[in-house]
Amino acid sequence: MSSNPHPRSFIDVTHYSENSRQNGKFSRPHSYLMQSPRIEIASDGPEFSRIVLGLWRIANWNMSPAQRLSLVEQALELGITTIDHADIYGDYDGERLFGEALALAPALREKMEIISKCGIRLLSANRPAHRLKHYDTGREHIIASVENTLTALHVEYLDLLLIHRPDPLMDADEVAEAFTALRRDGKVRHLGVSNFTPAQFELLASRVPLMTNQVELSVMHMDAMYDGTLDQCQRLRIAPMAWSALAGGRLFDDKDPRAERLRKALTSIAERHGVSMTTIAYAWILRHPSRPLVLTGSQRIEAMEEAVAATGLTLAREEWYSIWTASTGTSVL
């Protein structure tokens, strides 16, 4: 029992780029592929792909620049045009690795939307001036972080900048001043937050328009459904972004009763629809009326295809609640 709120979109991908044809590790023949739909994430906001390529693990993938480019090209072929970074990913090296790949085909920049985050200072050999891990949402740090990010990525602007974590010392006026300066200089087009509570979101939104709140959300982590985060997104008509959508792999690996119940429920529904358990886990998130965008952080093209397939499947209420019941271990009151 599935319905499709989005028309299925397909593209002919028989003709790969020269780089993709030469890289047998990541290229495989397809006649047609389903594409991720796109949505406007806020009123007067940008349009992003519903599935987002998250690159927090890029430094662990041991890819050459050509291989990284091939991965990005194939993500674009799947309609995954929105790419998620943070300055700290890969010990401050992830953005440089992506930038190396993009430099091989700079025209691809106009076919994608780039997100990055800042506001955390890590202890790192790549940041020798940092003496303590802490948050910093000061104007100077935000602007310097963005300039470093643009240099590393080999791009002139970010489509969306997120404040990575709530900072107890955040001065909302100072953040707004930093964003105003960055937007004036053409370096950042939109602002959002990540991991903010509704009250923290409201504070910053009182000073500057916010486009999204990127939060942890999965069948194993439902806090955003009950702490007011997704309710706020619906009220403001902004689309949240869901990170760790597969619970960091715990959905597949954990041996506790909850994970086993979830695997059983997801597998049953997956068999009914003729898709993978992973696709159903993504579809469960996408079914929420706040219209979440889902991050996928895999280097496997097959994993991206599973995520995209979820955009063409709408779970029935009974199916959605059977997964909720498996996760909570109880029925609704």
Active site residue 226: no
In terms of residue numbers, what domain contains 73?
40-211
Q: Kindly report the CATH number assigned to the domain that includes residue 71.
A: 3.20.20.100
Q: Given this model, what pLDDT does residue 30 score? A: 38
Is residue 180 one of the residues assigned to a domain? yes
Q: Given this model, what pLDDT does residue 10 score? A: 39
Encode pLDDT of 293-328 as tens digits.
999 999 999 999 999 999 999 999 999 999 999 999
Which position has the higher pLDDT, 25 or 164? Answer: 164
Q: How confident is the model at residue 218 (pLDDT cuts 50, 70, 90)?
A: very high
Give the percent of the chain with pLDDT over 90: 90
Q: How confident is the model at residue 31 (pLDDT cuts 50, 70, 90)?
A: very low
Over residues 196-210, the mean pLDDT reads 98
Give the percent of the chain with pLDDT over 70: 90
Q: Is the pLDDT at 57 greater than 70, yes or no?
A: yes
DSSP 135-203: E---HHHHHHHHHHHHHHHT-S-BSEEEE-S--TT--HHHHHHHHHHHHHTTSBS-EEEES--HHHHHH
Q: Given this model, what pLDDT does residue 12 score? A: 34
Q: Is the pLDDT at 33 greater than 80, yes or no?
A: no
Q: Is the pLDDT at 185 greater than 60, yes or no?
A: yes
- Residue in 16, 89, 92, 282 annotated catalytic: 89
Is residue 109 one of the residues assigned to a domain? yes
- Both tokens of residue 247? 């619970």
Q: Given this model, what pLDDT does residue 85 score? A: 98
Is residue 15 one of the residues assigned to a domain? no
State the chain's maximal CA–CA distance in angstroms: 58
CB atoms within 10 A of CB 80: 24
Rounded Cα distance between 170 and 66, Å, is 40
Is residue 216 one of the residues assigned to a domain? no
Tokens 């439902």 belong to which residue?
222
Rounded Cα distance between 10 and 312, Å, is 12
Q: Is the pLDDT at 226 greater than 50, yes or no?
A: yes
Over residues 165-186, the mean pLDDT reads 98
Is residue 175 one of the residues assigned to a domain? yes
As for how many domains the chain has, the answer is 1
Is residue 51 one of the residues assigned to a domain? yes
pTM above 0.95, yes or no: no
Which position has the higher pLDDT, 23 or 94? Answer: 94
Rounded Cα distance between 279 and 270, Å, is 8
What residues contact residue 298 under an 8 Å CB cut-off, 6+ apart? Answer: 304
Rounded Cα distance between 177 and 163, Å, is 14
Q: Is the pLDDT at 217 greater than 70, yes or no?
A: yes
Q: Given this model, what pLDDT does residue 37 score? A: 98
Q: How confident is the model at residue 213 (pLDDT cuts 50, 70, 90)?
A: very high
Encode pLDDT of 34-49 as tens digits.
999 999 999 989 999 9
Is residue 224 one of the residues assigned to a domain? no
Is residue 299 one of the residues assigned to a domain? no
